[in-house]
Amino acid sequence: MSRRLPRVVLALGAVSLLTDVASEMVYAVLPALVASLGGTAVTLGAIEGVGDATSAVAKLVSGRLADDPRRRKPLVLLGYGLATVARPLLWFASAPAHVVGFRFLDRVGKGVRSSPRDALLAASVPRARAAEAFGLHRALDNAGAAIGPLVAAWLLAHGPRVVAFASLAPGLAALVTLAALVPASSDRGAEAPALAPSSEPPASATAPSALRSYLLVLGLFAIMNTSDLFLLRRLGELGASAREVALAWSALSLLRAFAATTGGRLADRIGKATSLGAGWIVYAAAYAVLALAPDVATFLAGMCLYAGYFGLSEGAERAIVAELAPRAVLGTEFGRFHLVTGLASLPSNLLFGWAWGAVGPRACLLASAAGALCAAVALWSWTRAHRRR
């Protein structure tokens, strides 16, 4: 079998790269914009929690629609288009609630596109190489996330609103790339059998029990996980300027890009569940360092360790869904995957935002680290019950 991945994987990766340039331009300046409007840590929690929960519901709906391969590309176009229009609207924000509203629209766009895009990716490669394909996609996505904050840092002299409006350019470039280079459908996933057989017959359109219980484990981790906006806020609290925060976010994204490519290939080799569990342990270690960091330098070291978590987990967690989901309901199962992880982020981020002020950032970060270890234990138990490796 050729080691070259299909062109659709590279094309979708290029679209994500350009989109993340746009979205991370805005993401890097959100804490500064919210603070300038009088917002608090609770506001940041509301922005991310409401946005992710809304996105999760949209992902479930679009995932069900994407079970029909003919609908996948139109849904992806619609989702990217909504987000491209939403981001520049931050120019008009005059209160924290406006930021919540504009972020809501941006996350709806993400919700509409994510499940159909993941279904396109999963259907384009053999299941044995799913983690590699998702890893490469995440690497290009993170490369865009590294470029976006650099552009934001360059434009910050003109204010965060100018940064938000300038995000329109890479967003439009992503839409053109998607329309021109991504085919409507490409199904090669059936070339290889699933690595871990389920008790369901091959033609079943019902998710196997292994997949349902796997989503519960993911939900446990998602409840204990938190928005990276809190890490950017903590970096500012330790003394970093808005420009330094943007540069640090860019550096983290670049490390994530390198880690994602290697991590995807490693997951296909050692086992996707093994890679995911290792990623959650690395997450716990990184959050412990971040919690106890006394200064910016130590905090940045923790963020470098944090990048390793993404490399081990991002491709693997989606590849397990692609491996276990029946082809007839591939879009629906990716929708459920995004629904579980997205809905869990609403109470997580709201509680985290409240606790940030009530008990302090150190206690919050340490609690998240402990929760990740609990999720790793649950994943280990799931692996023993349902999988060969």
Tell me what pLDDT residue 194 has.
Answer: 39
- The CA distance from 33 to 95, in Å, is 10
**What are the pLDDT digits (tens) for 174-192?**
999 999 988 876 555 444 3
pLDDT in the model for residue 274: 93
pTM above 0.85, yes or no: no
Count how many Cα atoms sit within 13 Å of the Cα of residue 29 in the half-sphere of its side chain.
33
Give me the DSSP letters along 236-294: HHTT--HHHHHHHHHHHHHHHHHHHHHHHHHHHHH-HHHHHHHHHHHHHHHHHHHHH--
Q: Decide if 73 contacts 184 (C-beta within 8 A).
A: yes
Residue 348 lies in a domain: yes
Question: Is 287 inside any structural domain?
Answer: yes
Please tell me the total count of domains within the chain. 1
Q: Does residue 359 fall inside a structural domain?
A: yes
State the DSSP code for 192.
Answer: S
> Using one digit for the tens of pLDDT, what is the confidence trace for 59-81?
888 888 888 888 889 999 999 99
What's the pLDDT at 288?
96
What local confidence, expressed as pLDDT, does residue 187 receive? 54
Give the C-alpha separation, 226 to 364, whole Å.
Answer: 10
189 in any annotated domain: no
Q: Who contacts 75 (Cβ-Cβ below 8 Å, separation ≥6)?
A: 62, 65, 66, 112, 113, 116
Supply the DSSP string of 302-365, one letter for each residue.
HHHHHHHHHHHHHHHHHHHHHHHS-GGGHHHHHHHHHHHHHHHHHHHHHHHHHHHHHT-HHHHH
Domain-located, residue 188: no
- Residue 74 is predicted with a pLDDT of 93
Kindly state whether residue 121 falls inside one of the protein's structural domains.
Answer: yes
Rounded to an integer, what distance in angstroms lies between the CA atom of residue 132 and that of residue 77? Answer: 24
Q: Per the domain annotation, does 170 fall within a domain?
A: yes
Assigned domain for 197 exists: no
In the prediction, which pLDDT does 48 show?
67
Q: Give mean pLDDT in consecutive 10-residue pieces for the chain, a chain of 389 residues.
A: 74 92 81 75 70 78 88 92 87 78 83 88 83 85 85 82 89 93 65 38 55 91 86 88 81 83 83 93 96 94 92 88 83 85 77 86 94 95 74
Residue 372 sits in a domain whose CATH number is: 1.20.1250.20
Domain range enclosing 68: 7-182+202-386
DSSP 206: S
